[in-house]
Chains A and B, each alone.
Chain A
Protein backbone atom coordinates (compact mmCIF):
# COMPACT_ATOMS: atom_id res chain seq x y z
CA UNK A 1 0.00 0.00 0.00
CA UNK A 2 1.37 3.38 -0.94
CA UNK A 3 1.62 5.96 1.78
CA UNK A 4 0.36 9.43 1.28
CA UNK A 5 2.34 12.47 2.26
CA UNK A 6 2.09 12.71 6.01
CA UNK A 7 2.84 16.39 6.05
CA UNK A 8 -0.04 17.40 3.86
CA UNK A 9 -2.07 18.85 6.74
CA UNK A 10 -0.97 20.22 10.09
CA UNK A 11 -3.60 18.19 11.96
CA UNK A 12 -2.55 14.90 10.39
CA UNK A 13 1.07 15.79 11.11
CA UNK A 14 0.16 16.26 14.77
CA UNK A 15 -1.68 12.95 14.79
CA UNK A 16 1.33 11.17 13.28
CA UNK A 17 3.61 12.76 15.89
CA UNK A 18 1.27 11.79 18.72
CA UNK A 19 1.10 8.17 17.60
CA UNK A 20 4.85 8.09 17.14
CA UNK A 21 5.35 9.38 20.66
CA UNK A 22 2.92 6.83 22.08
CA UNK A 23 4.58 3.97 20.17
CA UNK A 24 8.06 5.02 21.29
CA UNK A 25 7.01 5.04 24.94
CA UNK A 26 5.03 1.82 24.70
CA UNK A 27 7.78 -0.07 22.89
CA UNK A 28 10.39 1.22 25.34
CA UNK A 29 8.19 -0.02 28.20
CA UNK A 30 7.50 -3.37 26.56
CA UNK A 31 11.15 -4.06 25.76
CA UNK A 32 12.59 -2.48 28.88
CA UNK A 33 14.82 -0.05 26.99
CA UNK A 34 15.39 3.70 27.14
CA UNK A 35 12.90 5.57 24.92
CA UNK A 36 15.67 7.97 23.94
CA UNK A 37 17.51 5.17 22.14
CA UNK A 38 14.61 4.38 19.81
CA UNK A 39 14.78 5.83 16.32
CA UNK A 40 11.48 5.95 14.51
CA UNK A 41 13.06 5.04 11.17
CA UNK A 42 14.76 1.88 12.47
CA UNK A 43 13.08 -1.54 11.98
CA UNK A 44 11.61 -2.52 15.34
CA UNK A 45 13.16 -5.98 15.25
CA UNK A 46 16.49 -4.19 15.71
CA UNK A 47 15.34 -3.35 19.23
CA UNK A 48 14.35 -6.96 19.92
CA UNK A 49 10.64 -6.69 19.16
CA UNK A 50 9.27 -10.19 18.53
CA UNK A 51 5.95 -11.59 17.28
CA UNK A 52 4.39 -11.68 20.74
CA UNK A 53 5.38 -8.07 21.46
CA UNK A 54 4.07 -6.97 18.07
CA UNK A 55 0.62 -8.45 18.66
CA UNK A 56 0.54 -7.16 22.25
CA UNK A 57 1.42 -3.60 21.25
CA UNK A 58 -1.17 -3.58 18.46
CA UNK A 59 -3.76 -4.75 21.00
CA UNK A 60 -2.85 -1.87 23.31
CA UNK A 61 -2.84 0.54 20.38
CA UNK A 62 -6.37 -0.60 19.50
CA UNK A 63 -7.50 0.17 23.05
CA UNK A 64 -5.81 3.57 23.02
CA UNK A 65 -7.15 4.61 19.61
CA UNK A 66 -10.46 2.82 20.06
CA UNK A 67 -10.12 1.41 16.56
CA UNK A 68 -9.90 -2.05 15.03
CA UNK A 69 -6.42 -2.61 13.63
CA UNK A 70 -4.78 -5.49 11.75
CA UNK A 71 -2.72 -7.61 14.20
CA UNK A 72 -0.01 -7.70 11.53
CA UNK A 73 0.41 -3.90 11.57
CA UNK A 74 4.01 -3.99 12.83
CA UNK A 75 4.97 -6.63 10.24
CA UNK A 76 3.46 -4.71 7.35
CA UNK A 77 4.83 -1.38 8.61
CA UNK A 78 7.97 -2.37 10.49
CA UNK A 79 9.11 1.06 11.67
CA UNK A 80 7.37 3.51 14.00
CA UNK A 81 7.40 6.13 11.25
CA UNK A 82 5.71 3.87 8.67
CA UNK A 83 3.16 2.46 11.12
CA UNK A 84 2.13 5.93 12.32
CA UNK A 85 1.82 7.31 8.82
CA UNK A 86 -0.26 4.31 7.78
CA UNK A 87 -2.58 4.71 10.75
CA UNK A 88 -3.22 8.39 10.12
CA UNK A 89 -3.15 8.53 6.32
CA UNK A 90 -4.66 5.16 5.39
CA UNK A 91 -6.78 4.10 8.35
CA UNK A 92 -7.68 7.67 9.23
CA UNK A 93 -7.33 7.40 13.01
CA UNK A 94 -6.94 10.55 15.10
CA UNK A 95 -5.79 10.12 18.68
CA UNK A 96 -7.80 12.06 21.22
CA UNK A 97 -4.60 13.43 22.76
CA UNK A 98 -3.39 14.96 19.51
CA UNK A 99 -3.71 18.54 20.60
CA UNK A 100 -2.06 18.12 23.98
CA UNK A 101 0.69 15.72 23.00
CA UNK A 102 1.74 17.39 19.79
CA UNK A 103 3.98 19.77 21.65
CA UNK A 104 5.48 17.06 23.87
CA UNK A 105 6.61 14.88 21.02
CA UNK A 106 8.66 17.62 19.42
CA UNK A 107 11.50 16.48 21.64
CA UNK A 108 11.48 13.36 19.82
CA UNK A 109 13.22 10.20 19.26
CA UNK A 110 14.60 11.25 15.84
CA UNK A 111 16.84 13.55 17.79
CA UNK A 112 17.82 10.76 20.13
CA UNK A 113 21.50 10.52 21.02
CA UNK A 114 23.34 7.77 19.20
CA UNK A 115 23.79 5.22 21.93
CA UNK A 116 24.93 1.70 21.49
CA UNK A 117 21.42 0.52 20.73
CA UNK A 118 20.68 -2.72 18.98
CA UNK A 119 20.33 -1.28 15.58
CA UNK A 120 22.89 1.44 15.32
CA UNK A 121 25.72 -0.26 13.44
CA UNK A 122 24.78 1.18 10.09
CA UNK A 123 24.03 4.54 11.61
CA UNK A 124 27.43 4.56 13.21
CA UNK A 125 29.27 3.60 10.05
CA UNK A 126 27.26 5.89 7.84
CA UNK A 127 27.31 8.69 10.34
CA UNK A 128 23.55 9.18 10.02
Chain B
Protein backbone atom coordinates (compact mmCIF):
# COMPACT_ATOMS: atom_id res chain seq x y z
CA UNK B 1 0.00 0.00 0.00
CA UNK B 2 1.13 3.49 -0.71
CA UNK B 3 1.58 4.98 2.74
CA UNK B 4 2.37 8.39 1.29
CA UNK B 5 -0.98 8.49 -0.50
CA UNK B 6 -3.65 10.32 1.44
CA UNK B 7 -6.25 7.98 -0.08
CA UNK B 8 -4.77 5.00 1.77
CA UNK B 9 -5.19 6.57 5.21
CA UNK B 10 -8.62 7.96 4.29
CA UNK B 11 -9.98 4.55 3.20
CA UNK B 12 -8.41 2.94 6.26
CA UNK B 13 -10.20 5.45 8.48
CA UNK B 14 -13.50 5.17 6.60
CA UNK B 15 -13.46 1.41 7.04
CA UNK B 16 -12.16 1.36 10.60
CA UNK B 17 -14.67 3.75 12.21
CA UNK B 18 -17.86 1.80 11.37
CA UNK B 19 -16.19 -1.62 11.62
CA UNK B 20 -14.67 -1.11 15.05
CA UNK B 21 -17.80 0.68 16.30
CA UNK B 22 -19.91 -2.34 15.35
CA UNK B 23 -17.28 -4.63 16.84
CA UNK B 24 -17.26 -2.71 20.10
CA UNK B 25 -21.07 -2.73 20.42
CA UNK B 26 -21.34 -6.40 19.42
CA UNK B 27 -18.64 -7.32 21.91
CA UNK B 28 -20.39 -5.50 24.72
CA UNK B 29 -23.59 -7.39 23.84
CA UNK B 30 -21.64 -10.63 23.67
CA UNK B 31 -22.58 -11.11 20.02
CA UNK B 32 -19.10 -10.90 18.51
CA UNK B 33 -17.24 -14.04 17.53
CA UNK B 34 -13.46 -14.10 17.32
CA UNK B 35 -13.44 -15.26 13.72
CA UNK B 36 -15.19 -12.01 12.67
CA UNK B 37 -11.85 -10.29 13.25
CA UNK B 38 -10.27 -12.34 10.46
CA UNK B 39 -13.20 -11.51 8.16
CA UNK B 40 -12.80 -7.82 9.02
CA UNK B 41 -9.07 -7.93 8.30
CA UNK B 42 -9.67 -9.60 4.91
CA UNK B 43 -12.30 -7.00 4.02
CA UNK B 44 -9.97 -4.18 5.07
CA UNK B 45 -7.05 -5.57 3.04
CA UNK B 46 -9.11 -6.16 -0.10
CA UNK B 47 -10.78 -2.76 0.10
CA UNK B 48 -7.40 -1.05 0.37
CA UNK B 49 -6.08 -3.09 -2.55
CA UNK B 50 -9.06 -2.13 -4.74
CA UNK B 51 -8.49 1.48 -3.78
CA UNK B 52 -4.81 1.20 -4.78
CA UNK B 53 -5.38 -0.39 -8.20
CA UNK B 54 -8.54 -1.98 -9.61
CA UNK B 55 -6.87 -3.64 -12.60
CA UNK B 56 -4.18 -5.19 -10.36
CA UNK B 57 -6.86 -6.32 -7.95
CA UNK B 58 -8.47 -8.49 -10.65
CA UNK B 59 -5.15 -10.26 -11.33
CA UNK B 60 -4.48 -10.57 -7.61
CA UNK B 61 -7.82 -12.20 -6.84
CA UNK B 62 -7.47 -14.66 -9.74
CA UNK B 63 -4.00 -15.63 -8.50
CA UNK B 64 -5.15 -16.05 -4.90
CA UNK B 65 -8.04 -18.33 -5.89
CA UNK B 66 -5.85 -20.36 -8.24
CA UNK B 67 -3.05 -20.77 -5.67
CA UNK B 68 -5.38 -21.64 -2.83
CA UNK B 69 -7.27 -24.29 -4.80
CA UNK B 70 -4.04 -25.85 -6.07
CA UNK B 71 -2.35 -25.89 -2.64
CA UNK B 72 -5.54 -27.33 -1.11
CA UNK B 73 -5.45 -30.08 -3.77
CA UNK B 74 -1.69 -30.63 -3.40
CA UNK B 75 -2.02 -31.19 0.35
CA UNK B 76 -4.38 -34.08 -0.37
CA UNK B 77 -1.99 -35.82 -2.73
CA UNK B 78 1.18 -37.80 -2.15
CA UNK B 79 4.41 -38.42 -4.04
CA UNK B 80 4.74 -37.41 -7.67
CA UNK B 81 1.19 -36.05 -7.85
CA UNK B 82 1.87 -33.50 -5.11
CA UNK B 83 5.18 -32.62 -6.77
CA UNK B 84 3.51 -32.19 -10.17
CA UNK B 85 0.85 -29.87 -8.71
CA UNK B 86 3.49 -27.80 -6.91
CA UNK B 87 5.51 -27.53 -10.14
CA UNK B 88 2.49 -26.45 -12.17
CA UNK B 89 1.56 -23.74 -9.64
CA UNK B 90 5.10 -22.38 -9.49
CA UNK B 91 5.47 -22.36 -13.27
CA UNK B 92 2.17 -20.53 -13.74
CA UNK B 93 2.92 -18.00 -10.97
CA UNK B 94 6.34 -17.25 -12.40
CA UNK B 95 4.90 -17.13 -15.96
CA UNK B 96 2.37 -14.48 -14.90
CA UNK B 97 5.15 -12.46 -13.28
CA UNK B 98 7.36 -12.91 -16.34
CA UNK B 99 4.60 -11.82 -18.69
CA UNK B 100 3.87 -8.54 -16.93
CA UNK B 101 7.43 -7.76 -15.97
CA UNK B 102 9.76 -9.21 -18.57
CA UNK B 103 7.94 -9.86 -21.85
CA UNK B 104 8.85 -6.51 -23.41
CA UNK B 105 12.44 -6.73 -22.23
CA UNK B 106 12.73 -10.27 -23.55
CA UNK B 107 11.37 -9.48 -27.00
CA UNK B 108 13.12 -6.13 -27.41
CA UNK B 109 16.50 -7.05 -25.94
CA UNK B 110 16.96 -10.81 -26.15
CA UNK B 111 15.05 -11.78 -29.30
CA UNK B 112 15.84 -8.34 -30.71
CA UNK B 113 19.57 -9.13 -30.63
CA UNK B 114 19.10 -12.03 -33.02
CA UNK B 115 16.13 -10.70 -34.99
CA UNK B 116 16.05 -6.88 -34.93
CA UNK B 117 13.00 -6.78 -37.23
CA UNK B 118 10.92 -8.76 -34.69
CA UNK B 119 11.85 -6.28 -31.98
CA UNK B 120 11.00 -3.25 -34.17
CA UNK B 121 7.66 -4.78 -35.18
CA UNK B 122 6.91 -5.51 -31.51
CA UNK B 123 7.56 -1.92 -30.49
CA UNK B 124 5.58 -0.61 -33.48
CA UNK B 125 2.59 -2.77 -32.51
CA UNK B 126 2.48 -1.21 -29.05
CA UNK B 127 4.04 -4.01 -26.96
CA UNK B 128 2.14 -6.76 -25.10
CA UNK B 129 -1.27 -5.91 -23.63
CA UNK B 130 -1.08 -4.99 -19.95
CA UNK B 131 2.70 -5.09 -19.83
CA UNK B 132 3.40 -1.36 -19.98
CA UNK B 133 3.26 -1.03 -16.18
CA UNK B 134 3.83 -3.75 -13.59
CA UNK B 135 0.71 -4.37 -11.45
CA UNK B 136 1.50 -3.10 -7.93
CA UNK B 137 2.80 -5.78 -5.61
CA UNK B 138 2.96 -8.51 -8.26
CA UNK B 139 6.66 -9.28 -7.68
CA UNK B 140 6.22 -9.43 -3.92
CA UNK B 141 3.05 -11.48 -3.60
CA UNK B 142 4.18 -13.86 -6.37
CA UNK B 143 7.32 -14.66 -4.34
CA UNK B 144 5.22 -15.12 -1.24
CA UNK B 145 2.81 -17.46 -3.04
CA UNK B 146 5.68 -19.50 -4.51
CA UNK B 147 7.33 -19.86 -1.10
CA UNK B 148 3.98 -20.93 0.38
CA UNK B 149 3.65 -23.69 -2.23
CA UNK B 150 7.20 -24.95 -1.62
CA UNK B 151 6.93 -24.80 2.16
CA UNK B 152 3.55 -26.56 2.10
CA UNK B 153 4.91 -29.24 -0.21
CA UNK B 154 7.95 -29.81 2.02
CA UNK B 155 6.10 -29.71 5.35
CA UNK B 156 5.90 -33.03 7.16
CA UNK B 157 2.45 -32.37 8.60
CA UNK B 158 0.03 -31.82 5.71
CA UNK B 159 -2.39 -29.76 7.73
CA UNK B 160 -5.34 -28.40 5.70
CA UNK B 161 -5.40 -24.63 5.25
CA UNK B 162 -8.47 -22.43 5.47
CA UNK B 163 -9.28 -20.09 2.59
CA UNK B 164 -9.72 -17.08 4.87
CA UNK B 165 -6.36 -17.65 6.56
CA UNK B 166 -4.65 -17.98 3.19
CA UNK B 167 -6.36 -14.82 1.94
CA UNK B 168 -5.19 -12.93 5.01
CA UNK B 169 -1.68 -14.35 4.73
CA UNK B 170 -1.20 -13.07 1.17
CA UNK B 171 -3.34 -9.94 1.19
CA UNK B 172 -2.45 -8.58 4.66
CA UNK B 173 -2.45 -4.92 3.70
CA UNK B 174 0.71 -3.59 5.41
CA UNK B 175 2.96 -5.93 3.42
CA UNK B 176 1.11 -7.01 0.25
CA UNK B 177 2.50 -4.38 -2.14
CA UNK B 178 6.16 -4.08 -1.19
CA UNK B 179 6.90 -6.70 1.42
CA UNK B 180 8.36 -7.85 3.76
CA UNK B 181 8.07 -11.13 1.82
CA UNK B 182 6.75 -13.25 4.66
CA UNK B 183 7.10 -17.01 4.97
CA UNK B 184 4.49 -19.56 5.86
CA UNK B 185 6.20 -20.45 9.14
CA UNK B 186 6.29 -16.87 10.40
CA UNK B 187 3.04 -15.24 9.26
CA UNK B 188 0.56 -18.02 8.54
CA UNK B 189 0.18 -19.21 12.18
CA UNK B 190 -0.52 -15.59 13.15
CA UNK B 191 -3.28 -15.45 10.54
CA UNK B 192 -4.75 -18.75 11.68
CA UNK B 193 -5.29 -17.33 15.14
CA UNK B 194 -5.80 -13.72 14.10
CA UNK B 195 -7.52 -11.34 16.48
CA UNK B 196 -7.18 -7.57 16.62
CA UNK B 197 -4.99 -7.07 19.68
CA UNK B 198 -4.88 -3.35 20.35
CA UNK B 199 -2.97 -3.73 23.61
CA UNK B 200 -0.93 -0.94 25.12
CA UNK B 201 2.28 -2.83 24.38
CA UNK B 202 1.39 -3.44 20.72
CA UNK B 203 0.29 0.15 20.17
CA UNK B 204 3.45 1.48 21.81
CA UNK B 205 5.73 -0.82 19.77
CA UNK B 206 3.76 -0.08 16.61
CA UNK B 207 3.92 3.65 17.20
CA UNK B 208 7.70 3.56 17.57
CA UNK B 209 8.17 1.67 14.31
CA UNK B 210 5.74 4.04 12.60
CA UNK B 211 7.63 7.09 13.89
CA UNK B 212 10.89 5.68 12.65
CA UNK B 213 9.52 4.69 9.25
CA UNK B 214 7.65 7.93 8.63
CA UNK B 215 10.74 9.97 9.55
CA UNK B 216 12.97 7.92 7.25
CA UNK B 217 10.57 8.21 4.34
CA UNK B 218 9.08 11.70 4.58
CA UNK B 219 11.96 13.63 6.11
CA UNK B 220 15.11 11.89 4.93
CA UNK B 221 14.27 10.10 1.66
CA UNK B 222 11.83 12.67 0.30
CA UNK B 223 14.04 15.65 1.13
CA UNK B 224 17.06 14.04 -0.52
CA UNK B 225 15.25 12.95 -3.69
CA UNK B 226 14.96 16.39 -5.40
CA UNK B 227 18.75 16.82 -5.27
CA UNK B 228 19.52 13.61 -7.14
CA UNK B 229 20.36 14.24 -10.76
CA UNK B 230 21.02 11.59 -13.38
CA UNK B 231 22.04 14.04 -16.10
CA UNK B 232 25.61 14.91 -15.14
CA UNK B 233 28.20 12.40 -16.35
CA UNK B 234 31.42 14.35 -16.99
CA UNK B 235 32.20 15.57 -13.48
CA UNK B 236 33.45 12.72 -11.28
CA UNK B 237 32.65 14.55 -8.02
CA UNK B 238 29.05 15.12 -9.08
CA UNK B 239 28.66 11.53 -10.25
CA UNK B 240 29.91 10.24 -6.88
CA UNK B 241 27.82 12.72 -4.93
CA UNK B 242 24.63 11.78 -6.78
CA UNK B 243 25.35 8.10 -6.22
CA UNK B 244 25.91 8.84 -2.53
CA UNK B 245 22.60 10.71 -2.29
CA UNK B 246 20.83 7.87 -4.07
CA UNK B 247 22.42 5.36 -1.68
CA UNK B 248 20.94 7.26 1.25
CA UNK B 249 17.62 7.74 -0.46
CA UNK B 250 17.02 4.12 -1.39
CA UNK B 251 17.70 2.95 2.16
CA UNK B 252 15.54 5.58 3.85
CA UNK B 253 12.81 5.10 1.27
CA UNK B 254 12.50 1.33 1.36
CA UNK B 255 13.46 0.72 4.99
CA UNK B 256 11.09 3.56 5.92
CA UNK B 257 8.30 1.81 4.03
CA UNK B 258 9.13 -1.52 5.68
CA UNK B 259 9.09 0.01 9.17
CA UNK B 260 5.72 1.68 8.57
CA UNK B 261 4.42 -1.74 7.47
CA UNK B 262 5.95 -3.29 10.58
CA UNK B 263 4.41 -0.61 12.81
CA UNK B 264 0.91 -0.89 11.30
CA UNK B 265 0.99 -4.66 11.63
CA UNK B 266 2.26 -4.46 15.20
CA UNK B 267 -0.57 -2.09 16.19
CA UNK B 268 -2.95 -4.91 15.23
CA UNK B 269 -0.85 -7.49 17.08
CA UNK B 270 0.89 -9.02 14.05
CA UNK B 271 4.68 -9.34 13.93
CA UNK B 272 6.30 -8.93 10.53
CA UNK B 273 9.92 -9.76 9.74
CA UNK B 274 12.48 -6.99 10.08
CA UNK B 275 13.44 -6.28 6.47
CA UNK B 276 16.42 -3.99 7.13
CA UNK B 277 18.98 -4.28 9.90
CA UNK B 278 21.17 -1.17 9.64
CA UNK B 279 22.79 -2.25 6.34
CA UNK B 280 25.16 0.73 6.15
CA UNK B 281 26.98 -0.39 9.29
CA UNK B 282 28.26 -3.45 7.41
CA UNK B 283 31.96 -4.19 7.33
CA UNK B 284 31.75 -6.53 4.34
CA UNK B 285 29.46 -7.20 1.39
CA UNK B 286 28.54 -10.54 2.99
CA UNK B 287 27.34 -8.70 6.02
CA UNK B 288 25.58 -6.10 3.88
CA UNK B 289 23.45 -8.78 2.25
CA UNK B 290 22.41 -10.11 5.62
CA UNK B 291 21.18 -6.67 6.56
CA UNK B 292 19.69 -5.35 3.30
CA UNK B 293 16.17 -6.38 2.17
CA UNK B 294 16.48 -9.44 4.40
CA UNK B 295 13.29 -11.20 3.29
CA UNK B 296 14.21 -11.01 -0.39
CA UNK B 297 17.78 -12.19 0.30
CA UNK B 298 16.42 -15.09 2.34
CA UNK B 299 13.98 -15.97 -0.43
CA UNK B 300 16.76 -16.18 -3.01
CA UNK B 301 18.93 -18.08 -0.55
CA UNK B 302 16.28 -20.70 0.21
CA UNK B 303 14.60 -21.12 -3.17
CA UNK B 304 17.45 -20.44 -5.60
CA UNK B 305 20.93 -20.67 -4.06
CA UNK B 306 20.55 -23.63 -1.69
CA UNK B 307 18.60 -25.84 -4.17
CA UNK B 308 21.12 -24.98 -6.92
CA UNK B 309 24.05 -25.67 -4.64
CA UNK B 310 22.74 -28.97 -3.29
CA UNK B 311 25.70 -31.19 -2.63
CA UNK B 312 27.76 -29.82 -5.53
CA UNK B 313 29.98 -27.55 -3.51
CA UNK B 314 32.55 -27.17 -6.25
CA UNK B 315 30.10 -25.11 -8.32
CA UNK B 316 28.93 -23.04 -5.35
CA UNK B 317 30.76 -19.82 -6.36
CA UNK B 318 29.15 -19.95 -9.79
CA UNK B 319 25.71 -20.50 -8.24
CA UNK B 320 26.29 -17.62 -5.87
CA UNK B 321 27.03 -15.36 -8.83
CA UNK B 322 23.95 -16.63 -10.71
CA UNK B 323 21.74 -16.07 -7.66
CA UNK B 324 22.83 -12.46 -7.30
CA UNK B 325 22.45 -11.78 -11.00
CA UNK B 326 18.91 -13.19 -10.85
CA UNK B 327 18.22 -11.10 -7.79
CA UNK B 328 19.28 -8.03 -9.79
CA UNK B 329 16.96 -9.06 -12.63
CA UNK B 330 14.09 -9.39 -10.15
CA UNK B 331 14.44 -5.68 -9.44
CA UNK B 332 13.62 -4.74 -13.00
CA UNK B 333 13.64 -5.78 -16.60
CA UNK B 334 16.64 -3.71 -17.63
CA UNK B 335 20.34 -4.25 -18.18
CA UNK B 336 21.34 -1.91 -15.36
CA UNK B 337 19.61 -4.15 -12.78
CA UNK B 338 21.24 -7.26 -14.22
CA UNK B 339 24.60 -5.46 -14.02
CA UNK B 340 23.88 -4.39 -10.46
CA UNK B 341 23.12 -7.96 -9.38
CA UNK B 342 26.15 -9.33 -11.23
CA UNK B 343 28.32 -6.61 -9.66
CA UNK B 344 27.32 -7.71 -6.16
CA UNK B 345 27.81 -11.39 -7.05
CA UNK B 346 31.25 -10.49 -8.38
CA UNK B 347 32.10 -8.52 -5.22
CA UNK B 348 31.21 -11.53 -3.06
CA UNK B 349 33.53 -13.72 -5.10
CA UNK B 350 36.32 -11.14 -4.94
CA UNK B 351 35.87 -10.99 -1.20
CA UNK B 352 35.95 -14.77 -0.97
CA UNK B 353 39.15 -15.23 -2.93
CA UNK B 354 41.08 -11.98 -2.49
CA UNK B 355 39.41 -10.34 0.48
CA UNK B 356 40.76 -12.55 3.24
CA UNK B 357 44.47 -12.09 2.52
CA UNK B 358 43.82 -8.38 1.93
CA UNK B 359 42.03 -7.93 5.24
CA UNK B 360 44.71 -9.96 7.01
CA UNK B 361 47.29 -7.53 5.59
CA UNK B 362 45.17 -4.51 6.57
CA UNK B 363 44.61 -6.00 10.03
CA UNK B 364 48.33 -6.29 10.61
CA UNK B 365 49.40 -2.93 9.17
CA UNK B 366 46.67 -0.48 10.10
CA UNK B 367 45.45 0.95 13.39
CA UNK B 368 41.69 0.67 12.76
CA UNK B 369 41.22 -2.05 10.14
CA UNK B 370 37.49 -2.25 10.80
CA UNK B 371 37.05 1.36 9.79
CA UNK B 372 38.80 0.55 6.51
CA UNK B 373 36.52 -2.49 6.07
CA UNK B 374 33.46 -0.34 6.65
CA UNK B 375 34.65 2.44 4.32
CA UNK B 376 35.46 -0.02 1.53
CA UNK B 377 32.11 -1.74 1.93
CA UNK B 378 30.15 1.50 1.94
CA UNK B 379 32.06 2.83 -1.09
CA UNK B 380 31.35 -0.44 -2.94
CA UNK B 381 27.66 -0.08 -2.17
CA UNK B 382 27.63 3.55 -3.35
CA UNK B 383 29.40 2.52 -6.56
CA UNK B 384 26.84 -0.27 -7.05
CA UNK B 385 24.05 2.28 -6.77
CA UNK B 386 25.34 3.86 -9.99
CA UNK B 387 24.07 0.74 -11.80
CA UNK B 388 20.85 0.68 -9.86
CA UNK B 389 19.89 4.32 -10.44
CA UNK B 390 20.88 4.64 -14.09
CA UNK B 391 18.73 2.87 -16.69
CA UNK B 392 20.29 4.72 -19.62
CA UNK B 393 23.08 2.33 -20.61
CA UNK B 394 25.04 4.87 -22.70
CA UNK B 395 25.05 7.39 -19.89
CA UNK B 396 26.02 4.69 -17.41
CA UNK B 397 29.06 3.82 -19.53
CA UNK B 398 29.99 7.52 -19.74
CA UNK B 399 29.77 7.83 -15.96
CA UNK B 400 31.97 4.78 -15.46
CA UNK B 401 34.52 6.25 -17.89
CA UNK B 402 34.46 9.51 -15.95
CA UNK B 403 35.08 7.75 -12.65
CA UNK B 404 38.27 6.15 -13.95
CA UNK B 405 39.54 9.36 -15.56
CA UNK B 406 41.99 11.10 -13.18
CA UNK B 407 41.45 14.64 -14.51
CA UNK B 408 37.68 14.31 -13.98
CA UNK B 409 38.57 14.82 -10.30
CA UNK B 410 40.01 18.30 -10.86
CA UNK B 411 39.59 21.03 -8.19
CA UNK B 412 37.48 23.06 -10.62
CA UNK B 413 35.09 20.13 -10.98
CA UNK B 414 34.93 19.90 -7.19
CA UNK B 415 34.12 23.60 -7.00
CA UNK B 416 31.42 23.17 -9.67
CA UNK B 417 29.85 20.35 -7.65
CA UNK B 418 29.80 22.40 -4.46
CA UNK B 419 28.37 25.42 -6.24
CA UNK B 420 25.43 23.35 -7.47
CA UNK B 421 24.03 23.53 -3.95
CA UNK B 422 23.70 27.09 -2.72
CA UNK B 423 21.08 29.32 -1.18
CA UNK B 424 18.08 27.88 0.61
CA UNK B 425 18.19 24.59 -1.24
CA UNK B 426 21.82 24.12 -0.19
CA UNK B 427 20.85 24.72 3.45
CA UNK B 428 17.93 22.28 3.14
CA UNK B 429 20.24 19.61 1.74
CA UNK B 430 22.84 20.27 4.43
CA UNK B 431 20.23 19.95 7.22
CA UNK B 432 18.87 16.74 5.68
CA UNK B 433 22.35 15.27 5.36
CA UNK B 434 23.18 16.15 8.96
CA UNK B 435 20.00 14.36 10.07
CA UNK B 436 20.72 11.39 7.79
CA UNK B 437 24.30 10.99 8.96
CA UNK B 438 23.20 11.43 12.58
CA UNK B 439 20.63 8.69 11.99
CA UNK B 440 23.25 6.32 10.59
CA UNK B 441 25.58 7.18 13.47
CA UNK B 442 22.88 6.14 15.94
CA UNK B 443 22.78 2.73 14.28
CA UNK B 444 26.57 2.42 14.68
CA UNK B 445 26.33 3.46 18.33
CA UNK B 446 23.62 0.83 18.98
CA UNK B 447 26.00 -1.84 17.65
CA UNK B 448 28.89 -0.39 19.59
CA UNK B 449 26.82 -0.48 22.80
CA UNK B 450 25.68 -4.03 21.95
CA UNK B 451 22.01 -3.10 22.10
CA UNK B 452 19.55 -5.88 21.42
CA UNK B 453 18.52 -4.28 18.12
CA UNK B 454 20.33 -1.85 15.83
CA UNK B 455 17.30 0.46 16.04
CA UNK B 456 16.96 0.40 19.83
CA UNK B 457 18.26 3.93 20.30
CA UNK B 458 16.17 5.36 17.47
CA UNK B 459 13.09 3.63 18.85
CA UNK B 460 13.57 4.70 22.46
CA UNK B 461 10.47 6.55 23.74
CA UNK B 462 11.80 10.11 23.63
CA UNK B 463 13.62 9.76 20.34
CA UNK B 464 10.51 8.17 18.75
CA UNK B 465 8.45 11.17 19.83
CA UNK B 466 11.12 13.56 18.61
CA UNK B 467 11.23 11.81 15.24
CA UNK B 468 7.46 12.13 14.92
CA UNK B 469 7.65 15.85 15.75
CA UNK B 470 10.45 16.29 13.21
CA UNK B 471 8.35 14.46 10.62
CA UNK B 472 5.49 16.90 11.14
CA UNK B 473 7.87 19.86 10.95
CA UNK B 474 10.25 18.79 8.19
CA UNK B 475 8.33 16.38 5.93
CA UNK B 476 8.85 17.17 2.26
CA UNK B 477 6.00 19.04 0.57
CA UNK B 478 6.12 16.70 -2.39
CA UNK B 479 6.38 13.04 -1.39
CA UNK B 480 8.34 11.05 -3.94
CA UNK B 481 7.08 7.65 -5.13
CA UNK B 482 8.34 4.63 -3.25
CA UNK B 483 11.22 3.20 -5.27
CA UNK B 484 10.30 -0.42 -4.69
CA UNK B 485 6.78 0.03 -6.04
CA UNK B 486 8.38 -0.12 -9.49
CA UNK B 487 9.64 -3.64 -8.86
Contacts and interface: CB of A to CB of B under 8 A. Distances in A.
Interface residues of B, number: 36
A100 B137 CA distance: 55
Interface stretch (A16-24, A89-97, A116-124): A116-124
A7 interface: no
Given A46-B287, A50-B286, A55 B369 contact: no
Nearest to A126: B448
Interface string B132-152: 000000000000000000000
Contact of B368 (A45, A51, A121, A128): A121
B449 A75 contact: no
A33 B369 CA distance: 15
B253 to A, nearest CB: 25
A116 B364 contact: yes
A119 B302 contact: no
B370 A118 contact: yes
Given A75-B301, A116-B364, A51 B351 contact: no
Contacts of B449: 126
Contacts of A122: 370, 447-448, 450
B320 interface: yes
B424 to A, nearest CB: 37
B309 interface: yes
B352 A50 contact: yes
B309 A43 contact: no
A48 B352 CA distance: 8
Contacts of A120: 370
A72 B373 contact: no
Given A48-B356, A116-B364, A117-B363, A75 B290 contact: yes
A31 interface: yes
Contacts of A121: 283, 368-371, 373-374
Contact of A50 (B283, B348, B374, B447): B348
Contacts of B356: 31-33, 48
A116 to B, nearest CB: 4
A75 B290 CA distance: 8
B317 interface: yes
B7 interface: no
A32 to B, nearest CB: 6
A45 B374 contact: no
A27 B317 CA distance: 18
Nearest to A117: B363
Contacts of A118: 283-284, 359, 363, 369-370, 373
Interface string B360-396: 1001101011110110000000000000000000000
Q: Which of A43, A52, A72, A124 has the most CB of B within 10 A?
A: A52
Contact of B316 (A32, A48, A52, A78): A52
Given A32-B356, A45-B290, A50-B351, A124 B320 contact: no
A35 interface: no
B345 to A, nearest CB: 11
B72 interface: no
A49 interface: yes
Interface string A32-57: 11000000000101101111100110
Given A48-B351, A121-B373, A128-B450, 7 more contacts: A43-B287, A48-B356, A50-B351, A55-B309, A116-B369, A121-B283, A126-B450
10 contacts: A32-B356, A33-B356, A50-B286, A55-B309, A72-B301, A75-B298, A117-B363, A121-B370, A122-B370, A124-B368
